[in-house]
Structure 1
Amino acid sequence: MEKDKLRRKMIMTCFKAGFGKIDITPDLPVCTLYTRDKNQIADKITSRLYVRTAVFENDKVKIAIISGDLLALDSDFTTRVKKKIKRLGFKPENIMISCTHTHTAPNTINFNGPKFLKKEKGYLKKLETKIVECASSAQKDLKSAKIGIGKTKIDLNVNRREIGRMSEVNDLNSPTGLTDNETGIIFIEQNGIKKPSVIVNYAAHPLSMGKKSIKTISSDFPGEMSRIMEKDFKCVMFLQGCAGNINVKISGKLKVARKAGRIMADAVRNVYKNVSWEADCKLDMKTSEIDMPVDALEVSIKAHLEKKETENISTKEWLKKALKKARNTRSVKTIVQTIQISQAYLIALPGEQFIETALEIKKKSGKENCFVAAYANCGEIGYVPSPKAFKKGGYEVDEAYKYYGDHVYRNSPAAPSAFVKKALSLLKITNRKKGDWIR
């Protein structure tokens, strides 16, 4: 009995967690995703942008989970940041960098069309420094901790391909179509700290600010959820799910974003009231390369040239790049990650994954608490539509890939199953004695 008590005490002392939060709001004026194609600039801040870091450590491994109030970050950027964070004692493969995917944030990824302004490049340099500072702050905050895992359902998202986009829905009572309203929650209590911290995973495009707010900087509903909860929580991190075909149901201006944020915050708080705590916390992280299938460029170029409509600047630039690329490419390398924190298993996928991918991983994982995040580590691959979506076509299938400057390929209908297979294979070896980087 005494030996068991001593063992539990040693384990609790061994498992540690720390948190960091740094303001990344840009100086105005600045270009955003919405304004870049309209020769406009954002000249108003309705809510501040932040990067948040959670660091977890035991006697075997140390990991960092980073989430920024940003649209997307490409793999060149995240690789540079990980190399800098490595100096703090982390393995680059034990670092996850993700974005909430708010559309009212500075343009941080190289889209075709209007080029990066000097101001945007300057912001990216500052952003690199701030993310590293945030990781350092979280590491300095490490304290013995315990974990509480929870789930709840929040009816705030809608399948935009089945039901409609924002202007066609904009009603909390509207049908949802195929979606996943499960919210994965990881609560953390640090020894000696009154306020708990939390990581929240949910899938919904952050578009509650709406296109009426295109000249605005805002963290949208994920940021509003964090702002509301951080009155009585220490750090509230949002990890965006597989929202490639999923929107938030309501849109408008700041008032609507705050309403959506309040709905999220209230639901998470309710779970916290009855959460069970675990001090005997397992911790592990695995990272693996994946050869993501892409369509042959010949197919995309031929389909493009057969169209007789007037081309915009983005698709013209895509065509120039596509014609120069190697035509025989059939796959592009990216990464998948799995993280175990206590009884929670978090999958980190790149790009704009469709909800079908998350649902399949959850169903086949065999894990009670399997949470799937997207928009992680490699934002330039763009949308990864489901095979069913490819048959129907549409924006995510036929048009969006032409906007991503460094990834000219249309992702293949086989890509989702490749991600599912890789995620499930990593889950099988999580917390086994293998290297953190899996080939």
Structure 2
Amino acid sequence: MISRKVLLVYPYFYTGIIKDQLFPPLGIALLSALLKQKGIEVMKLDCTFLTFEEAVQKARDYNPDITGIYIMTTFAQKALKLLEELKCINPNSIYAAGGPLPTLYPDRFAEKFDYVFKGEAAKSFPDFCRDYLGAPSRIEFLEGIDPQGYPGIHRYKWGMIDSIAKHLTKDEIDACPLPDREAFAHDKYQELCHMHSGKKKASIMMTYGCPFSCDFCSKPVFGNQVRFRSLDRVIEEIRDIISYGYDSLWIADDLFTFDSEFLMGFCSRIINEDINISWSCLSRVDTISDEVACAMKDAGCYKVYLGIESGNDDILKLMGKGIDTATVRRGVEVFKRNGIECAGFFIVGYPGETLATIEDTFEFSLSLGLDEISFNVPYPLPGSKLYERVSGISADDWTIENETRFLYKSEFDEKWLKGRIQQTLESFARLKMQYE
């Protein structure tokens, strides 16, 4: 009997850094569900809680016909190292790359992989797997492949092919099955999250795409086109998440609170259907009213994470944030007034800043009454405007977690910034103690 097996690899290896935002990978979960829908056998290889050797052994034992590896900047090195090992132990497998980095640099990854799938591959990759695995002659299929049938496909081998990636329509998104969450290490994810937050959180996405143009942001996969999922499908997925023992959601959307009608509809469904789950989310500060914040609180929202970035209006303009400090202050006050905790993200040492604007940010962060603050230096993500503007970017130094360190040539002194960040965090801790 001809084998029809696909291996989906998420090559992140947990480093032991304390964090409560670590979740089963949604990307390979969705691809797994789509492949199973087509009658294809699938194994998800989530490397999060495995050693490198254990991951290699599992791949060896499975011996797939097709191996798909998800790659983003922070674990590109591990992904490529894993690819080398897998090619040695499973030389007959087709190797495909997907995710943000291969989307941005398909030529670079096509030198190492047989295929690259750019952008949203939720249709093209499963269709390719179905057609390749079902072909009477797999070699003839590869030699005669029509790239227009697989949007975003890219390769060098068997002749150069390339096609433009297409975003899924809302109807196509809603037609997708629920992400396949079976066989993930749910107990380990829940234990780690509960240890640091007291909650067992799983991630979910309800919107795709973002129309904003922040200078430091890169969105190669979902792009600018905004699409909202059907709330019926969202509620169905939440019930599925609860069935695995989770009691809280991390809503990972950039734009979850952007459309008040969608947000209020979600809150109404959670309340009216008595779905007992808490949740936190990213949020903008310029789209929130007391009515909306009150509904969020009633529906289980306990915390919002705000990309405030700077306490200086000129730097906010430079970053392309589209907000000012007065708007930030109003937004935080609305959330706090309605009993929702606020965490603020800040960036210091941005190209174009001065020591004075950096100090503005430190002072502003302490004046907002936030429940949590964090600081980082600019992170020049490939595909962002920032990435194009800075020089001397390290090509091999993206894997260190939770460390204040420039990955490019900066005019600011790292040691000084680390010291000022630490001082500000200590001041913040003292302020919190006064109010508790």
So what's the TM-score if we normalise by structure 2? 0.28
Greater share of strand: 1
Larger Rg: 2
Greater share of helix: 2
